[in-house]
Amino acid sequence: MKNRIRMSRSRKAFLWVFGLPTFLIYSFVCVVPLFSSLRDSFTEWMGIAGTSKTWIGLSNYAELFRDPVFYTALKNDLVISFFKLILITSLALVFAVSLTRIKLTRPERAIYRYFLYLPTVLPIVVITIVWKFVFEQSGLYNTLMLKLDGRKVGDVVNMSSHIANHPVAVITFVAIWCGIGYSMIVLITAINNVSNELYEAAYLDGAGQLGQFFYVTLPSIMGQVRYIMVYIVSSTLASNMNLVLPMTNGQPGNASTVMGLYVYKYGLTADNGVSRVGYANAAAVVLMLISFILCYSLNRLINRGEEKKL
Amino acid sequence: MKIKRLLSLLLVSALLLTVVGCRKTFTFDSNRDVVVTQNVYVEDTPATSSTASATSSNAGGQTSSTASSEKSDSTPAAPVKKQAEKKLSGKLSVQIFINENGVGEAAWTEILDEFEKANPDLALTTYIGTNVNSQLANTWLSGQNTPDLVLIDGKGLSETSLCASGSFLDLTDWYRNATVYGQNKRICDVVTTAALERYNGKLYKMPLMLNCYGLWYDQNLYRQQGIQIHRNFSEMLSNATAQKSAGTSALTYPGMYSNYLVWGTVMPAVAAYGQGFFDEISAGKNPKIYQDERLRSVLENLHSLGAAGYVSASATQDHLGAQSDWLNHRAALVSSGIWLEAEMKKSIPGVFDMRFTTAGLNLSGQKPGAVLMGVGVAISSHSKNAENAKTLVRYLYREDSLKKLALSYGYMTAAKQKLPVSAYKGSAKQIMQYLQGKDVNIVYKTRDWGNLGETFNSVANRIAQGKLSAADGCKELATAAGKNK
């Protein structure tokens, strides 16, 4: 016989009072725009009040899948997401373990944490300006190379711009640099919650630092690792544009464009001819679907791994 | 337990109040100063009317339009009698974009101040500043509470979209009969007719000033390097060789915003072939025109510069990066507009002798072209104070208003009667001398190429870096023009 939890009337009222406004706000801010975006993706519309919204069926999607820039944007998004996923997760894990398991004095630990977390709190525009100063043709990197080669600084005009030549690589590097801090803090918190008794038991069983990491630390914080992996994938597709826009604006020749920027340029920028909000919505819907599929697949993959272990 | 309930109720109330509060903040009220960035001119200004104050039943500019709408711009109409101006009442709101360095702000403030003094019963609200376009973007998108009059300038305000959506008032008929405020002149007799840019045959923007893109150089650097500024492509190429050996690139540009490159180098060379060819290229509709030999030769010249390594690696640079390269003499020429000196006033080294040219990719023996683009105002089609806005437009066409604006921006005035070169200061003097001289082929931008602009920018950027051939660039442009709606 099932035990039913009977809720008191006051508890029900309490849940209604708290749940309903949140649900309404969520619906208004997220669900309604989602459906209106889906509806608008089947129209030709400029996005300005008073202009006609013409139903054109799947034409926007057909045009989208014929556009080579769309595939470039998609490829760049996937490349950035993949490297962010692998490198942020592994580096954040290494840093988190180092800062918690290696014997450091408190000031040392604080300094390391501060410097590793700093990029997370810096405004994105500052980050892009700083790294542009490093990787542009006359930037710090080329200047240092010239000095190491013993050549004149004036020779910089004969050198190439690393951002222009390898825009996606530079963007990925910067994205990883500023993404490690948050994941590291999440993992540090998780590691600090692992009971010392487990480490002592592992030590008595003869496990070294590496053994303790694989048999105690990693299994204990797998929930948080899973969280940051899903977080990286879900946030990357939406946030890539924040870096790309001030860093390269998708240049040269759309080589560094990403889906967010693609949507933005068609739907929201006011400076590129007539805005096409219907078309931008079609691209946004595709981006949303890809984001959902990736997050869902990743979650399933990790969960399956966990189930097998059990 | 009671305390918990009380706390819960307080939290819920706070949540609801926040929601209610947010709703109020999002509602845009044109008379509130929520989005007013700098100066607000509101009612109750001391009534000291300085200009024509006699009462009249005619508000001026609204003279009879019988049959006149059919006349061409240049057809002389019946003589217009001098009209006294009726004092305005009611409201008027104005949106003025000003760049980060405040170029033009003083002139706008002065003109609007005078206009307000002339109309003491008018409640004038001015939204002026660097972010004003983005702050008021929602009003234009929703068509609600739009400012009555807007200066079409700066990022965040799509002239093309707003024209296409009918957000601006059609001034085609009005401007032919409207008179300059307090003066016995019609606007169509004052303004340079060729500079009127039309969208689908309709006139939405009234040009006040004329802007121009080209190449800036430091005359002192050229003196030091013992070379003369080029007049055509072959001279530019030979200069570039000498400059490269001296550790200077020939050209830099902001690749992130390659429209600077397009309008500073490619389009002046297109303009060198005359207004007709320039119009076809800038219309963005006919795919065949982008395969034309003339355009291909212009793009081949650009490619030659890039492939030889004479252009800075600017493909992803922003305008500050490009200007910094130029100021540090890492590049001899920077592609930009004639506003550059006013924009960079504080950063220009004293040793710089800033000069401007539109020559570059044009052939030997061919006059370089220069494209003049109107910078002007439009009236919102949603405006409830359109008559007041029209009167302000008429006020802006007064000789003194046009002069103040042109001198403040360093632009050429859109009036037929150009200001004397001596009226300008700094490098603007050289620019006006150059643009009003005989050695340049002036064309006016009268069309909008809509969504082709993005492709053109991208193509030019890659060609300048030697990564795309001119022939492939032309093909890409032709394909994009075919799709351009």
d(CA B448, CA B282): 6
**Contact assessment for residue A255 and residue A73, using Cβ atoms and an 8 Å cutoff:** no
User: Does residue B102 belong to the interface with chain A, where contact is any CB pair within 8 Å?
Assistant: no
Q: Which residues between 163 and 222 in chain A have a beta carbon less than 8 angstroms from any beta carbon of chain B?
A: 163-165, 167
d(CA A267, CA A3): 54
For residue A21, tell me if it sits in a domain: no
For residue A138, tell me if it sits in a domain: yes
Closest CA to A114 of A172, A176, A184: A184
Nearest to A270 among B158, B258, B450 (CB): B158
In single-letter form, the type of residue at position B171 comes to L
Q: Which domain holds residue A270?
A: 67-309
**pLDDT tens-digit map of B376-399:** 999 999 999 999 999 999 999 999
Domain of residue A188, CATH code: 1.10.3720.10
Q: C-alpha dihedral over B388, B391, B393, B398, to 10 degrees?
A: -150
d(CA B148, CA B129): 17
Token output for B86: 């009726």
**At B356, is the secondary structure helix, strand, or coil?**
strand
What is the bridge-based pairing of β-strands B369-379 and B354-357? Answer: unpaired
Task: Name, in order, each residue with C-beta under 8 angstroms of B142's C-beta and a sequence gap of 6 or more.
Answer: A49
For residue A198, tell me if it sits in a domain: yes
For residue A290, tell me if it sits in a domain: yes
For residue A227, tell me if it sits in a domain: yes
Q: Cβ–Cβ of B316/A161 closer than 8 Å?
A: yes
Token output for A256: 């560094």
Nearest to A253 among B160, B312, B462 (CB): B462
Tokens 């795309």: give the residue: B468
pLDDT, tens digit only, all 485 positions of chain B: 566 666 666 666 665 655 454 443 333 333 333 333 333 322 222 333 333 333 333 333 332 332 333 334 444 444 555 667 888 899 999 999 998 888 899 999 999 999 999 999 999 999 999 999 989 988 998 989 999 999 999 888 888 889 988 999 999 999 998 999 998 889 999 999 999 998 888 999 999 999 999 999 999 999 999 999 999 999 999 999 999 888 899 999 999 999 999 999 999 999 999 999 999 999 888 999 999 999 999 999 999 999 999 999 888 888 888 998 999 999 999 999 999 988 888 888 888 899 999 999 999 989 999 999 999 999 999 999 999 999 999 999 999 999 999 999 999 999 999 999 999 988 999 999 999 998 899 999 988 887 888 899 999 999 999 999 999 999 999 999 988 76
Cross-strand pairs, B97: B129
Token output for A99: 């800062």
CA of A16: which chain B residue's CA is closest?
Answer: B12
d(CA A197, CA A88): 29
Hey, what CATH class is B90-210+374-423 in?
alpha beta
Task: Spell out which residues of chain B touch residue A272, defining contact as CB-CB under 8 Å.
Answer: 158, 451, 453-454
Q: ipTM of this model?
A: 0.81
B160-to-B198, B318, B337 alpha-carbon distances in Å: 10, 24, 20
Q: Cβ–Cβ of B449/A273 closer than 8 Å?
A: yes
For residue A195, tell me if it sits in a domain: yes
Q: Cβ–Cβ of B161/A156 closer than 8 Å?
A: no
Domain boundaries, chain B: 90-210+374-423, 212-372+427-483
**Contact assessment for residue A38 and residue B133, using Cβ atoms and an 8 Å cutoff:** no
Q: How much of chain A exceeds pLDDT 70, in percent?
A: 94
Nearest to A251 among B133, B309, B315 (CB): B315
Closest CA to A269 of B429, B161, B53, B300: B161
Token output for B390: 């029209």
Q: Which residues between 140 and 169 in chain B have a beta carbon less than 8 angstroms from any beta carbon of chain A?
A: 140-144, 155-158, 160-162, 164-167
Task: Spell out which residues of chain A touch residue B248, defining contact as CB-CB under 8 Å.
Answer: 157
Closest CA to B44 of B125, B121, B127, B119: B121
d(CA A55, CA B162): 21
In single-letter form, the type of residue at position B479 comes to T
For residue A84, tell me if it sits in a domain: yes
Nearest to B160 among A132, A154, A273 (CB): A273
Task: Name, in order, each residue with C-beta under 8 angstroms of A273's C-beta and a sequence gap of 6 or more.
Answer: B158, B160, B161, B448, B449, B450, B451, B452, B453, B454
**Contact assessment for residue A255 and residue A72, using Cβ atoms and an 8 Å cutoff:** yes
- Topology given in CATH for the domain delimited by B212-372+427-483: D-Maltodextrin-Binding Protein; domain 2 (3.40.190)
A264-to-A124, A282, B157 alpha-carbon distances in Å: 17, 12, 15
User: Does residue A275 belong to the interface with chain B, where contact is any CB pair within 8 Å?
Assistant: yes
**At B199, is the secondary structure helix, strand, or coil?**
strand
Count of domains forming chain A: 1
d(CA A75, CA A30): 27
Q: What is the pTM of this model?
A: 0.82
Q: Which residues between 247 and 266 in chain B have a beta carbon less than 8 angstroms from any beta carbon of chain A?
A: 247-249, 255-258
CA distance B138 to chain A (A): 9
Q: Cβ–Cβ of A46/B161 closer than 8 Å?
A: yes
Tokens 């408190």: give the residue: A106
Whether the domain at B90-210+374-423 and the domain at B212-372+427-483 fall into the same CATH topology: yes
d(CA B119, CA B127): 19
d(CA B219, CA B351): 10
Task: Name, in order, each residue with C-beta under 8 angstroms of A186's C-beta and a sequence gap of 6 or more.
Answer: A92, A224, A227, A228
d(CA B467, CA A161): 14
**At B382, is the secondary structure helix, strand, or coil?**
coil
For residue A4, tell me if it sits in a domain: no
